[in-house]
Structure 1
Amino acid sequence: MASVNNKLAFLTQAPPPNYVAGLGRGASGFTTRSDIGPAREGPSLETINAARARRGEETLQEEDTNEDQDPENETGLFAGTVYERDDEEADSIWANIDDKMDARRRKQREAREKAELEKLRIERPKIQAQFADLKRNLSTMSDDDWSALPEAGNLTGKRRKAAAARAGNDKTYNVPDSVLLMNRDRNMTEQALSEEQMNSNGTSSTLNGAMTSLTEIGEARNKIFSHNLDQAGSSSRTSDGTQSTLGTASSIDTQGYLTGLAGTEIKSSAEIGDIKKARALLDSVIKTNPKHAPGWIAAARLEEVAGKMVTARKVIAQGCEQCKLSEDVWLESARLNTRDNAKVILAKSIAAGLTTSVKIWLKATELETDSNSKKRVLRKSLEYVPNSIKLWKELVNLEESHEDARILLSGAVTAVPGSVDLWLAFARLSSPEEAQKVLNEARKALPSSHEIWIAAARLIEQTNADQGKPVDETQTLLDRTLSTAVKRLQKAGAVLSRDQWLKEAERVEREGSPMSCAAIVKATITIDVEEEDRRTVWVEDAQACLEHGNVETARAILAFTLREYPDRQSIWRIAVDVERKYGTTDSLEAILERAVTMCPKAETLWLIYAKEKWQGQKDVAGARQVLIRAFEKNLGSEEISLAAAKLEAENGQKQAAAMLLQRARQEVNSQRVWLKSAVFAREEGQLADSLDLVKQAIKVFPSFWKLHLMHAQLVEVTTPPGTDNAHLRAAREALSAGLRACPSSTPLWINASRLEERAGLSIRARALLEKARLSKAEDKVSIWVEAARVEERSGNAPQAKALIARGLQEYPNAAALWSADIWLESRAARRTRSADALNKTDQDAQILGTIARMMWNDRKYEQARKWFERCTKANPDWGDGWAWWYKFETAQGTEESRLAVRERCKKAEPRHGEQWQQQNKDPNFPHRPTAEVLEATAKTLVITT
């Protein structure tokens, strides 16, 4: 009974299954800190929907939550577990295993993916790659080109209509009457206002509530007409000099009045407000300080901007009354008035006390129309301002007679003795004798003027030239004069820097006085230069003058430098180059004679002298005498001995050339002498003697690779082929011996590979090149290029491209590799590749030539010509670039352009280039001139598509 009466007995009993407290009120289960595991599930969807139905709400739809559990997703499987140290260690072990497994074949996988990607790019290039060249060309378009582009539009309809018109299928339709009535009523004008639109006070109301007064519109119109009439009125002067408007009908241009109204500028309300504010401010300024001239000028200009010229003239007239001694106010008043009124205003300014204002007098002179009136005003002005240089110059310039101008200048220098320009003008208009006296007086009046001394030197040069005096005597006199000038100027305190004197020398040279220029340089070149820096500074000054085009100044600097440093071969070379480019044959020979006299041990100067005698003057005997003198001064000289032998050989004296070479082998005994001796014998057809000389030379100089290469060539030519290719086997043995002795010689490796390729053994050729890449070869870039060419000649273009790519990884700045890579690309990708090559190789000549050939293939001939010119300027010594340009001009140019390329190539005298050297050193055509080598090289070049 006790348990039955106890109301709290249920607390000690077990709850029913799945019981959740408060579930009927929408509550859900919860957990405490002592609980482990997830909380109880909430009410089911059926329970929730039943409760929502009782409240009159919509039921919820069941969501598809049956998702497959990912066994790899530890977050889902073990979300409630603790991540311990063992788990971390296991994860790191598995991560290391994954990394090792991924790295095992990473290179092969990446290479395979890269090859597949490149193949995909070749087959299906990106839109960006296809249009990269066109996008790059957009940077060269000017603003005019952009503005000239047509607007994009839909031309489909136009083309369809045009096609229909051509086919005669035009259709016509009747226009409805409603359209005609609508067009008729469109341009009709309402002549009156309705009663609803009018109100009692004469205004019209719009739909949005804004009111417009017709009375105010009429008043504004009257004000505008009144303003235009004021502007159109003529002006007359009152007795006090102010302007008054005459509003008579006779003062208005009736025919042009409407045109003037049409051209009247209508200002906006904002501009009118700004003008009113500025007018108020300036009015305050001129009233507060009426003697402030800039305020009056600003007020007048404001009225001018506002279009009220009459008011502007009145304002500036008041300013003239208030500021009578301000020349700016009077000049502004003259500007705002007509010519006749301006003359009167300027006359009043002179009467007001501005008699010494040069600006007023010059403005008065400008207002005069004829020359006599201008002279009269200027003479009047000089009465008040006799020391004005500007007034004297204006008056002198108006004189047409030289005698009258000289008389005026005599008075001018008396009145203004401190003007250098007046003294120089006076001297120029005088005779030589009088000019000398004038300059002497000028020196006394202006002891600190260097212009007077320079003018005196130029006068001496001109006078002595007219009198036919010797050049040396004139130069000595000029040197003495300028040396005295520098001392006098320094004593007077007029010290000029060395750069200023050099600029004066350049100016004198441009004015046609080279001897005075040289005298200035000689007298001032040592100023402000330290003893140890003189040679460097002077050479830099000479080169700077050459860049400016002042050859005589550069010659004078070099001549003085050579007098101070007569034993410097480099300075003599610069002087010789200057004379060769700008001088005559006699001046070049004179400088060369002085050079070899001062530097008898300089072999280069002797060779230049002999070459100039031989090729420049066609004096073979003179060149022979120069070489004899050179050999006496330089006993045992290799260069001079070989030059003498070359001179005799190319002029038909074969026996003398052979004797000179034999003597050189005994006295000089150098590897180059032995090589030239063998080459000479081969050119003469004496192959056995040439082979014997090469064998003897190899014993003495086993490490000279050119001897081994020539040995292989001679053995291959002299050995009978036979049935077992004995000549190739002999050449192979010679090259093998050369590679053992010279393992770093790239030409030996390449020629050995080509020998195997000629024998049909491409596998051995590849092996040799692979061995060369692993050896100590000097030029491995050429070896990479040759390996790619071997594959290309074998028809394996992908392998050639792969080799070039490997080479670029090792040598990313090699121009030869980039050039080969460009030609291995497809036509669409070549432009992008060439842009990368230009950036990587710093615009190498070989890349420039490759781009020129690309332009040639694309039939862009003008652009190709420009790129060929850039190529030859970048490296004039690269003969292949000249040959390609000559081939281009032969195919696409004119006879004049082809001859121009040939002449420029002859002046450049290129010596390098793969195809160029093969033709230049062809034993079948020895001693060919540059023009013939150019033509032969151009014929061997093959155009790549």
Structure 2
Amino acid sequence: MASNKANKLAFLSMPAPASYVAGLGRGASGFTTRSDIGPAREGPSAEVIAEAQAKRGEEVEVDPEQFQDPDNEYGLFAGTTYEQDDEEADKIYEQVDEAMDSRRKARREAQEKLELGKHRAERPKIQQQFADLKRGLSAVTDEEWENIPEVGNLTRKKRRKEERSFVVPDSVLVGDRNKNEYENSLDARQQEAGGFATPAESGTLTNFVEIGQARDKILSLKLDQISGTATSSGFSTSVDPKGYLTSLDSVIIKSDAEIGDIKRARMLFDSLVKSNPKHSPGWIAAACLEEHAGRMVAARKIIKAGCEQCPKSEDVWLEAARLHNNDDAKVILANAVQHVGQSVKIWLAAADLEGDVKGKKRVLRKALEHIPNSVRLWKETVNLESSATDARILLSRAVEVIPLSVELWLALARLETPERAKGVLNKARKAVPTSHEIWIAAGRLLEQEAATDTSKTREQKAKALELVDHTIQLAVRELRKYQVLLTREQWLKEAERCETEGSPRTCEAIVKATIAMELEEEDRLDTWVGDAESAESKGMVGTARAVLAYALKVYPDRRNLWRKAADLEKLHGSADSLDAILSRAVHHCPQAEVLWLMAAKEKWLAGDVPGARRVLEQAFVANPESEQIWLAAVKLEAENGELGVARELLVRARTVADTERIWMKSAVFERQQNQLSTALATLATALEKFPKFAKLYMVQGQILQSQNNYPGARASFSAGVKACPKEATLWILASRLEEIDGKSIKARALLEKARLVNPANDTLWAEAVGVEERSGGAAQAKAMLARGLQECPTSGLLWSMAIWAEPRPMRKSRSVDALKKSADNPIIICTVARLFWQERKIEKARQWFGRAVATDPDLGDSWGWWLKFERQHGTEEHREEVRSKCIAAEPHHSPTWQSIAKDAKNSGKSVKEILEIVADALQ
């Protein structure tokens, strides 16, 4: 029985099977560790796991393709074999899939990034949530940091104290017991010494007197270091008590992170200079790092090693000189020139270290012995010379050594007399035949000589100036021989430079010789006009004048060119130059009425009334039927008090020219002279001839209205709107007549009919809003304004009314909408300026008024508002500037300006006087 039991338990000592897993039969998933199976032992195989699952009665999962017969396959590719072609096809499909995936990769990554951003926006990290609070901590002062209370118990609950007890060691108890005991017997060593020697375990005695003396000595040394010298009046210290804390603030305290960065950088640079000791930038960077860290001794030591390793690098020597004081730097640079004697930078740095001019000269001349072909060294040496004679001698030697330096030749020519300068420039031209600067300098020299020589007559000076043109033309030809082909733009820049340096004749000569280069004939005119405008915008008036003069020689019959030239002279030239241009203009373009009128007006403005009459007489001969010339002659006579002559001119003009505008001006003239019956008769005759001219009806209606003949005025306006239904001003005059007559309903009806005939007309909508406001209906006016803005969304006039209709706090935002909708309309800009005026922002208001008049200088109300503003907040200079600019612009439009300028009481008044009246009338 015992043997049977032993046999049953014998398996316990037997080794386990190779694939045995404990507990697998009970459903447990066994696991092994590396210590159990070793580094490369695998787990149970699939067959073993399947056998164990079968013992438990579990169904074994069968792969459906495991026992499939290749001969009985089904599907599209059943019965085929996988050959090399199939493999290649699969590879091609994989490449196509990869290509398609890469095509959509950017879009997919962008979409994922967008989704991630949305997710981060919805669920930000805690770090991001508190980022603004962390940034706000930078503003916390030191006192606020110190006043932050310690974190305590914020739960307002009493916490139970955990009382812990410890066992006290016996040594503590014994020491505490013996602490208060007194020794009443002498030590054996004390007895041997007679009872007076204090025992010491170390065998030495502590001398407290010497310790105190050493402490006092150290303290006195520290005080001597910071103290000043003693004077008879007492002790003066060099420590600034007020600036002490400030100096402490200036000390840069490096953080741990920065110190760590410096240490890492030091290790990197150390590795760099050890691995590549001939790399000079590494030594320089290592020295700069130590300088930044405040270790100047280490920096100088490193750069010294760099100089030894890289003696041919000028940068290392310069850095070494920078890191040392002046005296040491001189020694360093003296050593540097032994290794890099051809370095210009080294010599210039050595010269800069010298304190006096004599020392600098000595260094630079020594440098020229080593580097005689350095232009920079010669220039620095010449600049140090105080006398022109010494400088001339040096430059003479310099051009011998460096004959190809144009800069040195030109400098020498500037120091010579005009006669000798010609010889210098001739030598320079032979030495450097490809330099255009030498040719230009020769032209400038000839111009200067002609301008300064007072012994020559005007004809001789003119011939001398012609030499300038000849020289520049020769320069262009010679340079072309040597294949030096400068472009038109480069020559024009040279011309502008000559003008800037005070040589207008040379500038003109360059333009004459080169302006027609590289241009097709059909592009000439437009290109030249563009060049002139570009030069004028840069302030190069001489260049623009020369370009236009050459263009006028080529195209003398282009009136637009003459007009541009006249405008240029009017803005930047003198009265004589303008008169000369206009005289030539009317000679070449006798049919150009505008040129005749400009010539006559300039004569008139200059006070030469007889000269203006002569110009107009010549204009009559060339243009006998010109309406503008007849009216200009009438205006000239009328404003100079010759009313009879003006009336006769109008009669003759009606006979010769016989235009609708002349008839209208005749009626206006008679109205201004208070001859109302004659004016009405003239208008009646004119209306028979020109029934479609709206201004005749306007003048007739206004005359009848001034006579209180409302039915006649109503009939005149009614006939006018029937004959000219597209004229908005006629409708407005008819509406205002009804308003004056107390018939506001009829005025509204007329404006409604006018808007039907003239859709999207902002003037009519503005008048309709004004009718409602004057009738006392603020709500109706606001509704009308809203309807007008719907039909005319870009109207500056309506937007301006909308801004002023808003309450004061809302006007600013309304003005922003107006600027966006109206695309910088001048009326809106003027309105914004007035808003700044209300807010007392003086400079901004002045800037916006300037923008308004620059956008459209023809609007007189903008000038009036600006003058009104300057009366209140500006100086007399500001007001005079507004007046002068307004006179130059000569505005004609805007409601208030037109009503005042066309009033019979203000006939004959100047632009300045009308501007003052408009500024008074604006509210």
Structure 2 counterpart of 1:606: 596
Q: Secondary structure at the match of 1:648?
A: helix
Look up the equivalent residue of 2:886 and give its one-letter code: C
The answer to whether the 8 A contact 1:333-1:342 is kept is yes
The answer to whether the 8 A contact 1:739-1:748 is kept is yes
Deviations 1:693-741 (A, max 9, x none): 11111111110011112222333445xx6xxxxx211221122112221
Look up the equivalent residue of 2:406 and give its one-letter code: V
Deviations 1:671-698 (A, max 9, x none): 1111111112222222222111111111
Deviations 1:393-434 (A, max 9, x none): 111111111101110110011011111111111111111111
Look up the equivalent residue of 1:760 and give its one-letter code: G
Distance 2:769 2:284 in 1: 83
Is structure 2 residue 364 aligned with structure 1 residue 383? no
Distance 1:255 1:363 in 2: 38
Distance 2:488 2:358 in 1: 47
The answer to whether the 8 A contact 1:475-1:519 is kept is no
Alpha-carbon shift at residue 786 of structure 1 (Å): 1.2
Distance 1:413 1:453 in 2: 17
Distance 1:394 1:855 in 2: 55
Look up the equivalent residue of 1:387 and give its one-letter code: N
Query: Which of 727, 730, 744 is 1:762 aligned to?
Result: 744
Q: 1:355 to 1:739 in 2, by over 3 A?
A: closer
TM-score (structure 1 length as normaliser): 0.69
Structure 1 counterpart of 2:674: 685
Q: Secondary structure at the match of 1:924?
A: helix
The answer to whether the 8 A contact 2:760-2:792 is kept is no
Alpha-carbon shift at residue 910 of structure 1 (Å): 0.9
Distance 2:329 2:678 in 1: 104
Q: 1:652 to 1:327 in 2, by over 3 A?
A: closer
Q: 1:830 to 1:486 in 2, by over 3 A?
A: same
Alpha-carbon shift at residue 622 of structure 1 (Å): 0.8
Distance 2:250 2:697 in 1: 93
Distance 1:521 1:555 in 2: 10
Look up the equivalent residue of 1:643 and give its one-letter code: A
Query: Which of 534, 544, 548 is 2:538 aligned to?
Result: 548
Structure 2 counterpart of 1:503: 493
Is structure 2 residue 643 aligned with structure 1 residue 654? yes
Distance 1:890 1:349 in 2: 71
Alpha-carbon shift at residue 481 of structure 1 (Å): 0.3
Distance 1:327 1:893 in 2: 61
1:803-882 superposed matches below 5 A? 803-858=784-839, 863-882=844-863
1:233-632 superposed matches below 5 A? 267-351=254-338, 353-468=339-454, 469=456, 470=458, 471-615=461-605, 617-632=606-621
Q: 1:807 to 1:409 in 2, by over 3 A?
A: same
Q: 1:280 to 1:539 in 2, by over 3 A?
A: same
Distance 2:226 2:867 in 1: 75
Look up the equivalent residue of 1:769 and give its one-letter code: L
TM-score (structure 2 length as normaliser): 0.71
Q: Secondary structure at the match of 1:474?
A: helix
Query: Which of 611, 614, 638 is 2:627 aligned to?
Result: 638
Distance 1:573 1:262 in 2: 68
Distance 2:684 2:361 in 1: 97
Query: Which of 640, 653, 657 is 1:664 aligned to?
Result: 653
Q: Secondary structure at the match of 1:566?
A: coil
Q: 1:321 to 1:565 in 2, by over 3 A?
A: same
Alpha-carbon shift at residue 547 of structure 1 (Å): 1.1
Alpha-carbon shift at residue 855 of structure 1 (Å): 4.2
Look up the equivalent residue of 2:732 and give its one-letter code: I
Q: 1:587 to 1:315 in 2, by over 3 A?
A: same
Alpha-carbon shift at residue 779 of structure 1 (Å): 7.2
Look up the equivalent residue of 1:645 and give its one-letter code: V
- Percent pairwise identity: 54
The answer to whether the 8 A contact 1:713-1:731 is kept is yes
Query: Which of 722, 730, 735 is 1:740 aligned to?
Result: 722
Moved more, 696-705 or 728-737: 728-737
The answer to whether the 8 A contact 2:344-2:377 is kept is yes
Is structure 2 residue 904 aligned with structure 1 residue 923? yes
Structure 2 counterpart of 1:80: none
Deviations 1:806-859 (A, max 9, x none): 111111111111122222222332222222112211222222233334444555
The answer to whether the 8 A contact 1:746-1:778 is kept is no
Distance 2:417 2:526 in 1: 44
Distance 1:268 1:882 in 2: 62
Look up the equivalent residue of 1:334 and give its one-letter code: A
Q: 1:778 to 1:607 in 2, by over 3 A?
A: farther
The answer to whether the 8 A contact 1:745-1:778 is kept is no
Look up the equivalent residue of 1:730 and give its one-letter code: G
Q: 1:900 to 1:319 in 2, by over 3 A?
A: closer
Deviations 1:53-93 (A, max 9, x none): xxxxxxxxxxxxxxxxxxxxxxxxxxxxxxxxxxxxxxxxx
Q: 1:619 to 1:788 in 2, by over 3 A?
A: same
Structure 2 counterpart of 1:29: none
Distance 1:305 1:715 in 2: 92
Look up the equivalent residue of 2:702 and give its one-letter code: Q
Unaligned runs of 5+ in 1: 1-146, 152-194, 197-248, 722-726
Larger RCO (CA within 8 A; separation ≥ 6): 1
Distance 1:568 1:285 in 2: 74
Look up the equivalent residue of 2:736 and give its one-letter code: R
The answer to whether the 8 A contact 1:746-1:779 is kept is no
Look up the equivalent residue of 2:778 and give its one-letter code: A
Distance 1:571 1:410 in 2: 49
Alpha-carbon shift at residue 866 of structure 1 (Å): 3.9
Moved more, 599-608 or 446-455: 446-455
Q: Secondary structure at the match of 1:760?
A: coil
Look up the equivalent residue of 2:666 and give its one-letter code: S
Distance 1:934 1:269 in 2: 72
Distance 2:904 2:381 in 1: 80
Q: Secondary structure at the match of 2:906?
A: coil
Q: Secondary structure at the match of 2:507?
A: helix
